[in-house]
Structure 1
Amino acid sequence: MKTYRLLYRTTFLLISGLLISCTDLDEQLRSELEQGVTNVSTADLLIGAYSALNTPYQQEQRWVLEEISTDAAMAPTRGGDWDDNGVHRAIHLHTWNADNSYMNGTFNNLLAAQFQASNVLRNEPTPQQAAEARFIRALSMYDVLNLWGVVPYRDDLEDYRKNPTTMQTQEAIDFIANELNAIMNDLPSGGEAYVANKNAARTLLMKLYLNKGTFLNRENPTFDAADMNQVITLANAVTASGEYSISAPGKYFDNFAPNNDVVSTENIFTLYNEFGVRGGSVDRTWNTIAHYNMTPGGWNGWCTLSDFYDLFDEGDERLGIAYDYPADTMDNPGNRRNVGFFVGQQYNLETDEPLMARNPSSQPLVFTPEVTLRTSGNTLETAGIRVMKYAFDYGVPSGQRNNDWVVFRYADVLLMQAEAILRGGNGSEADARALVNSIRENRSVEPLATLTLDNLLDERGRELYWEGWRRQDLIRFGKFLEPWQEKPTDAGPHTLVYPIPSQQIAVNPNLTQNPGY
């Protein structure tokens, strides 16, 4: 249950978070902040650090870079809607440049989280507060490394006239690993998933070791057996904690429900969302995909691609169900899907009347598997299968919804463990396959007879769709440069990292543009 341990106001932090950015700030503001913060408690500062993760993570900036750039998601231009000077098309086509607004926003906000976490450390935190702050900092640094291959880092928080230094790949890997190992004993063993904990640190370390060889050589990744055994050891520690189990059949969407802080058996680390208190834009999970005439109306935008949808077996619970949860006030007399993939005729979930499009209003609202990067005519409003992973919180009249945003969960731990075994860690193919099948049996699909890297990648797609890991997976499995629906073969391997935003390079001489941009 959510507690008031974390419910503090942090209005000051919107200003202090700007300091990690490389943009110019007013000199008076610099002077005030260099004198230190005296009117905000350490607990407030820590909440600000947690909250700084909301914008990049909750189906916004980082999420767009990780999902819209892949075969799992697309933001098609619908006539004049969703054009935005081609920013979404460029991400899906891998034709981005250093002026892409999503990249600049993600870069800024991940570094803002880094700053806010570091700021906690100079305000006399308790050992646990310091450990939580260092975890947040390590997580934000990990994602900058993941997306750009280097990590700007400000060691001196006293003199903001000094530009952040730039950690190269190996240095950043070592720093993050050392931080997570150093804080392990001071993190809580369990409790609320929205509080950094030992298993969250273990999961982040798993991702670091699993992707280490990829970060060092993205075009030709290597997987050291010692790193893979680290992944396996950490996974066994998460399992041995006894905190988690794979959701029972029919309960997959508990992990994403408005009360997921209570009912999920898988969530390891989440971002806190509570109506009337604080949180991020979890509403975007509905708004970006829902048609105007659905309840509530959305922005009629993003979708998945039919080839990705076809990875699923018929009857796979992850495709979607009529999910019954406390915040669902709709009668749903037709027992229609209200979570998962929306395809075909859509219905009013209160009356079960078929919905119609808006323009033309005579056209049934039938979401089609066929979709192009630019839609027009009769397909303008209906092209593309829509994806709704977070059950809509009808219990809140407006504003902040209560679904906590999932960053790490237990199914991912087991899938990473299986992959580490296949990539040379201790264990057999049968051991790895048993881990994967322990998930599949609770998703109402047949067990796999054999496990290969190819069908493991497919399984990660099915299990973790739209959770913000698809790009990283495709790169690690050597698939990111290949063509897929509405995307040709990449022009070159430079797209395996994003360009450092030009705004940042212009003001920080310690940043050098990534090759190829």
Structure 2
Amino acid sequence: MNLYNLSDMKKIYSIFIAIPLFLIGCTDLDDVLYDRIPEDAYTADPVLQMSPIYRPMQDHLDWGGWWFCQELSADGLAIPIRGEHWNDQGKWVALHKHDWDTETEAVQAMWGRYYEGIVEANKFIERQVDGIGDPVVDEAIAKAKILRAYYYYLVIDNYGDAPFVTIFVGAPERPFATPKAEIFDSIVKHIEESIPFLDEENRSKTAVTRPMAHALLAKLYLNAEVYTGTPQWSKAEEHIDAVLASGYTLELDALGPFVTNNQNSPENIWVIPYHEDTYHGFNLHMRTLHYLSNQTFNMPVGPWNGLAVVEDHLNTYAENDRRRDGFLIGQQFSAAGAPLALSTGEPVILDPFIPALEMLPGSYPAAVIELAGARVVKFEVKMGARAYLGNHFPIFRLADFYLMKAEVLIRQGQNGDSYVNIIRERAGLEPWSNVDLDMLLEERAREMFFEGHRRQDLIRFGKFGNTWWEKNASGPERQTYPIPQWVLESNPNLSN
């Protein structure tokens, strides 16, 4: 399957992915499904015209590559080779071992999706020029600028220096890379200038809002030292505080933000609104569940038995940690309660121990290869689940910002215990005292597991190059991914 069509984008086709019609689905923006809106209404309403800007987020957990580059390059998850399965030309092993290159699939896909969103934002903003002064148009432009900033945040976080283009008509065909520090300064300015145009009361979880904008600024400032060389902890704290004051509350259940019907979770701030019928893309359960787990959940489709938890990460959870309920370990059962068994008669007992990242055919008994590793059900798999889940996926949620608040306090020589202990106590754990950065990073690993944060956290804490299970030490050049080969071939100005 060719994921890239570079022939349709005006002026900038040489570096930006085009947007084939079959890729433009609906976006649940303020609870509206835009593939059901009449075309004349869609083209007349600036809010409805924003749908293509949101659309690339739909691919975050699948073809877009973002989730895999954040989680599989870190220390908590792996897709091991299982005999004849999951080799896939070595693309999963490359992420785990930090051996990726310019042609690694996820590395190529991320770039295309980010710039798809950027191009659509630029196009949208230019088309609204005649309406400037109308409050509806002004707010729509502000949202588009913040969404564009979000994609550029992902660009500098994952690729570092990159083309920075904010126009559509007249955009350079082959731009040079802009230093990531300059991109950082520009997008921070764009967000801060746009916030006053946003409705103060809007708390939609699927659209740009003031809390979402503050959350994005908090993330940018939290990682400012990585992007610019200069820490900005007090600025991060300012925007973290704005998020904490926005009226969100923690779920009582640690897994509450991830249930099937989580669209109204008071903890989730900004989400990708997946739907099993109309907005596909969330199929991580298919990648992690054992083949026979369809009998556990009465699924009409068979899972793929791939993704597993690195045992070292699993072992960081105390036995009484309520977040352990997000893992499948041990004997598995059918929905009726009968123990599951392989065709050989061996029981389906998921063993947390994974013998090797590359369990090649004949290297271990077949059942060992098949059953190695705990599986992830942090996001609820409902009875009758199909190939795509309908759970909304949080990009920003409140628990993260409690831990971020603790971090900026600690980094400024203050005590962050109370903010960490809010999270620990919900998980059923004893409170900590004198929390330091290492302890905080451990707690973030547990609380934010499987949500696409771990790579960024390890980089910010200076540990991304460390040795861990089946991965040797890696150099600082591995903190970003390379510009994809297809982009370099299209634009020689990026090869320097």
Coarse TM-score class (shorter-chain normalised)? 0.7 to 0.9
- Tell me the residue number matched to 1:288: 287
The partner residue of 1:406 within 352, 372, 394 is: 394
Secondary structure of the 2:353 match is coil
Report the equivalent of 1:169.
180
- Identify which of 14, 30, 37 aligns with 1:22: 14
- The answer to which of 294-303 and 115-124 deviates more is 115-124
1:131 counterpart (116, 121, 142): 142
Shift, 1:51, TM fit? 1.7
Which amino acid is the alignment partner of residue 497 of structure 1?
T
- Give the CA deviation at 1:161: 6.5
Match status 1:502 vs 2:485: yes
Q: Deviations over 1:389-435 (max 9, x none)?
A: 21124466x5654211110001111111111111126xx22xx1101
Comparing 150-159 with 363-372, greater Cα deviation is found at 150-159
Q: Do structure 1's residue 257 and structure 2's residue 259 form an aligned pair? A: yes
Q: Say which SS state the counterpart of residue 492 (structure 2) adopts.
A: coil
Residue pair 2:11, 2:170 contacting (<8 A) in 1 also: no
Q: 2:327 aligns with which of 317, 341, 363?
A: 341
Q: Which residue of 2 aligns with 1:304?
A: 309
C-alpha displacement at 1:446, in angstroms? 0.9
Query: What is the letter of the counterpart of residue 491 of structure 2?
Result: N
CA distance in 1, matches of 2:400, 2:93: 29
1:270 counterpart letter in structure 2: V
C-alpha separation between the residues in 2 aligned to 1:161 and 1:230? 34
Partner AA of 2:141 in structure 1: A
Counterparts of 1:267-282 in structure 2 under 5 Å?
A: 267-277=268-278, 279-282=279-282
Counterparts of 2:313 and 2:197, CA distance in 1:
41
- Corresponding residue number in structure 2 for 1:445: 429
72, 75, 80: which is aligned to 1:71?
Answer: 75
1:210 aligns with 2:255: no
Picking from 470, 475, 479, the partner of 2:454 is: 470
User: Quick one: which of 77, 86, 96 aligns to 1:82?
Assistant: 86
Report the CA distance shift for 1:20/1:366 in structure 2 as closer, same or farther (over 3 A). farther
**Are 1:354 and 2:339 matched, yes or no?**
yes
Distance 1:18 1:386, change over 3 A: farther
Opposite residue 503 of structure 1, the aligned amino acid is W
How far the C-alpha of 1:386 sits from its partner, in A, is 0.9
Alignment of 1:15-164 (within 5 A): 22=14, 40-41=43-44, 42-57=46-61, 61-124=65-128, 126-159=137-170, 162-164=173-175
Task: Give the unaligned 5+ runs of structure 2.
Answer: 22-38, 132-136
C-alpha contact (below 8 Å) 1:50/1:271 kept by paired residues: no
SS in 2 for 1:255: helix
Cα 1:24–1:473 shift into 2, 3 Å: closer
Contact 2:212/2:270 (<8 A) preserved: yes
Superposed displacement of residue 22, structure 1: 3.4
Q: Show CA shifts across 1:149-195 (max 9, x none).
A: 12323333124672344321111110111011011112233322111
Verify the 8 A CA contact 1:16 1:116 in the aligned structure 2: no
The Cα shift of 1:510 comes to 3.2
Contact 1:154/1:163 (CA < 8 Å) preserved in 2?
no
What does residue 231 of structure 1 align with? 236
User: Does structure 2 retain, via aligned residues, the 8 Å contact 1:285–1:389?
Assistant: no
User: Secondary structure of the residue that 2:376 maps to in structure 1?
Assistant: strand
Q: Which moved more, 1:137-146 or 1:503-512?
A: 503-512
**Superposition map of 1:369-408 within 5 A:** 369-371=352-354, 372-375=356-359, 376-377=364-365, 378-394=367-383, 398=386, 401-408=389-396
The answer to whether the 8 A contact 1:315-1:445 is kept is yes
Q: Give the Cα–Cα distance (whole angstroms) in 1 for the partners of residues 197 and 217 of structure 2.
A: 16
What's the offset of the Cα at 1:357? 3.0
174-183 vs 152-161, which moves further: 152-161
- Report the Cα offset of residue 382 of structure 1: 0.4
Give the Cα–Cα distance (whole angstroms) in 1 for the partners of residues 432 and 317 of structure 2: 13
TM-aligned CA deviation for residue 204 of structure 1 = 1.0
Report the equivalent of 1:6.
none
Report the Cα distance in structure 2 between the residues aligned to 1:157 and 1:60, rounded to whole angstroms. 23
Tell me the TM-score normalised to structure 1 length.
0.82
Alpha carbons of structure 1 residues 393 and 153: separation in structure 2 relative to 1, 3 Å? farther
The CA deviation at 1:276 is: 4.0
Q: 1:433 and 2:413 equivalent?
A: no
RMSD: 2.6
User: Is the Cα–Cα contact under 8 Å of residues 214 and 243 in structure 2 kept in the other structure?
Assistant: yes
Hey, what's the Cα distance between the residues in 1 that align with 2:219 and 2:258? 21
Equivalent-residue separation in structure 1 for 2:17 and 2:220 (angstroms): 34
Aligned pairs for 1:6-17 within 5 A: none
Partner letter of residue 304 of structure 2?
W
- What is the TM-score with the length of structure 2 in the denominator? 0.85
**Deviation of 1:40 (Å):** 3.5
Please tell me whether the aligned partners of residues 16 and 119 of structure 2 are also in contact (alpha carbons under 8 angstroms): no
Question: 1:289 touches 1:386 (CA, 8 Å); kept in 2?
Answer: yes
